[in-house]
């Protein structure tokens, strides 16, 4: 049976033309202008080849003493941990709350005089407790690096993510709201020097064409069974600290111009899923004054393994990143994160992109039946 890709695209012919025009035109200032409209702040913005490069540049800019602690949630992407370690810093694992974000109470218990940085994550679009984290950081003299890689337009009290930390970074990966087939955005209150060259990025044109072809259901089904499992085994690659290519910037600009349309589709799919769930599944909801913008919708289920096996027949299901407390290579940094362990055993992720829309009712009906 053909499966639905966990990745989808909103690219059209106009995006393709704008991407090609990036060979001749510089869209950097236009993209910055659009981002500043969203952020509503005149902050310094830099376009890089990946989110990990953005984080790496931030950590180098801070120039922290070797062995300084960086507090991170236990469910953060492994890429973040590797970038911390590459800068001779020490990850401090913090438990998470029921909305999947860093737990302020656990952070208060574990923070030490050696903790210099806190990297809270807006998990899947759910916002972390911004005020509490800011207060803890201020009380302990810590820098806050706002990890907004999993969302782009989530809001707190009407204000967009990306403005609440001393630094922030976004991802332009293919799974995100705005995609440049890889890329990152670094946002800072103070200017920093980035001494890297910018490439043209012709290969992004080829990636755009290939992606349109490869996300066909029949072709993607073959890939999930034969090719993708091998790709998943490829190891971590270090930050390259390169600027985003000219074509990548052009493509991101084309995408950001229709961000409202992209968000509306995802929000409508989330609304439908939540309405169909009733009280049968756990929704990792947000508190007041928060407007999440989901790349995927996190749900809690009782029979996770059985449900995942069912879903894998129709969707190449996005998988939560492994808990850091379960990865042997980070054993040196393990500590007690009980809530993260409980949630990991229940958590599934549903895509929210446009092609899922026609299948939502069937998917939720079967999940409820199995659960």
Q: Which domains does the chain have, with CATH numbers?
A: 13-370 (3.40.640.10)
Phi, psi of 225 (to 5 degrees): -90, -25
Residue keyed to tokens 């990297």: 119
How confident is the model at residue 234, as a pLDDT?
41
**DSSP category for residue 358:** G
- Please report, for residues 11, 69, 282, the alpha-carbon distance to residue 143 in angstroms, rounded to integers and kept in the order given: 37, 11, 34
Q: What's the CA gap between 47 and 45, in Å, rounded?
A: 7
Within 10 angstroms of residue 279's Cβ, the number of other Cβ atoms is: 6
On the question of pLDDT at 332 being above 60, the answer is yes
* The residue to which tokens 């810093």 are assigned: 89
Band of pLDDT at residue 63, cut at 50, 70 and 90: very high
Q: In sequence order, which residues have a C-beta less than 8 Å from that of residue 215 and are 6 or more positions away?
A: 5, 7, 8, 9
What pLDDT score was predicted for residue 200? 53
Average pLDDT, the chain: 85
pLDDT band at 354 (very low <50, low <70, confident <90, very high): low
What is the token pair recorded at 334? 């393990």
Q: What is the DSSP letter of 359?
A: G
From 59-73, 106-120, 217-231, 271-285, the region with the lowest mean pLDDT: 217-231
First-residue to last-residue Cα distance in the chain: 23
pLDDT band (50, 70, 90) for residue 356: low
Report the percent of the chain where pLDDT is more than 70: 82
CB atoms within 10 A of CB 227: 12
Mean pLDDT of 292-300: 88
Report the relative pairing of strands 155-156 and 296-300 from DSSP bridges: unpaired
Q: Can you tell me the distance from the alpha carbon of 188 to that of 167, in angstroms, rounded to the nearest whole number?
A: 5
| C-alpha span between 79 and 234 (Å, rounded) | 13
For the cut 80, the answer to whether the pLDDT of residue 339 exceeds it is yes
Greater model confidence, 266 or 335: 335
Lowest mean pLDDT segment, chosen from 38-47, 169-178, 186-195, 350-359: 350-359
pLDDT value at position 218?
Answer: 46
The confidence score (pLDDT) of residue 208 equals 54
**Among 83-87, 228-232, 297-301, whose mean pLDDT is lowest?**
228-232
Phi-psi region of 88 (alpha: psi -120 to 50; beta: other; left: phi over 0): left
- Over residues 151-178, the pLDDT tens digits come to 989 999 999 999 999 999 999 987 788 8
Say what the alpha-carbon torsion angle 249, 181, 234, 167 is, to the nearest 10 degrees.
50
On the CB side of 256, CA atoms within 13 Å amount to: 24
**88 pLDDT exceeds 50?**
yes
pTM exceeding the 0.85 threshold for the entire prediction: yes
pLDDT tens digits along 2-54: 445 555 556 778 888 888 888 889 999 999 999 999 999 999 999 998 899 99
188 SS3 class: strand
Residue 121 has pLDDT above 50, yes or no: yes
Q: Where are the alpha helices (DSSP H) in the chain?
A: 13-21, 28-39, 51-62, 78-86, 104-110, 130-140, 203-214, 217-226, 228-232, 246-256, 259-277, 304-311, 338-344, 360-370
More confident residue, 239 or 49: 49
Spatial distance between the Cα atoms of 350 and 179, rounded to a whole number of angstroms: 19
Question: Taking 70 as the threshold, does the pLDDT of residue 240 lie above it?
Answer: no
Q: Measured between alpha carbons, how far is residue 363 from residues 38, 248, 311, 333, 357 in Å? A: 34, 35, 8, 39, 10
pLDDT digits (tens, 9 = 90+) for 198-229: 655 556 555 555 555 455 554 444 444 444 44
Strands 184-188 and 44-48: antiparallel
């Amino acid at each position: 049976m053909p499966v639905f890709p966990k990745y989808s695209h909103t690219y059209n012919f106009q995006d393709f033309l704008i991407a090609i025009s990036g060979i001749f035109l510089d869209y950097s200032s236009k993209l910055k202008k659009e981002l500043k409209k969203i952020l509503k702040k005149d902050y310094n913005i830099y376009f890089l080849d990946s989110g990990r490069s953005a984080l790496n540049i931030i950590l180098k800019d801070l120039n922290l003493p070797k062995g300084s602690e960086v507090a991170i949630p236990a469910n953060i992407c492994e890429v973040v941990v590797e970038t911390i370690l590459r800068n001779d810093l020490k990850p401090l694992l913090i438990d998470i709350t029921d909305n999947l974000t860093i737990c302020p109470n656990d952070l208060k218990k574990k923070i030490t005089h050696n903790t210099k940085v806190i990297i809270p994550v807006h998990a899947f679009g759910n916002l972390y407790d911004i005020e509490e984290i800011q207060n803890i950081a201020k009380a302990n003299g810590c820098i806050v690096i706002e990890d907004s890689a999993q969302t782009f337009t989530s809001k707190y009290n009407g204000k967009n993510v990306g403005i609440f930390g001393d630094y922030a970074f976004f991802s332009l990966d293919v799974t995100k709201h705005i995609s440049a087939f890889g890329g990152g955005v670094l946002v800072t209150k103070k200017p920093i020097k980035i001494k890297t060259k910018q490439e043209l990025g012709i290969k992004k044109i080829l990636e755009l064409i290939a992606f349109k072809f490869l996300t066909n259901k029949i072709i993607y089904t073959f890939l999930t069974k034969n090719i993708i499992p091998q790709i998943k085994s490829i190891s971590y690659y270090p930050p390259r600290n390169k600027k985003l290519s000219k074509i990548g910037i052009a493509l991101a600009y084309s995408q950001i111009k229709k961000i409202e349309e992209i968000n509306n589709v995802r929000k409508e799919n989330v609304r439908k899923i939540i309405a169909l769930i009733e009280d049968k599944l756990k929704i990792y909801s947000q508190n007041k004054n928060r407007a999440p913008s989901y790349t995927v919708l996190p749900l809690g289920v009782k029979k996770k393994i059985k449900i995942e096996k069912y879903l894998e027949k129709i969707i190449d299901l996005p998988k939560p990143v492994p808990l850091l407390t379960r990865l042997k290579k980070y054993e040196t940094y393990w500590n007690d994160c009980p809530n993260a362990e409980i949630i990991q055993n229940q958590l599934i992720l549903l895509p929210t992109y446009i092609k899922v829309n026609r299948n939502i009712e069937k998917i939720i009906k079967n999940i409820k039946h199995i659960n």
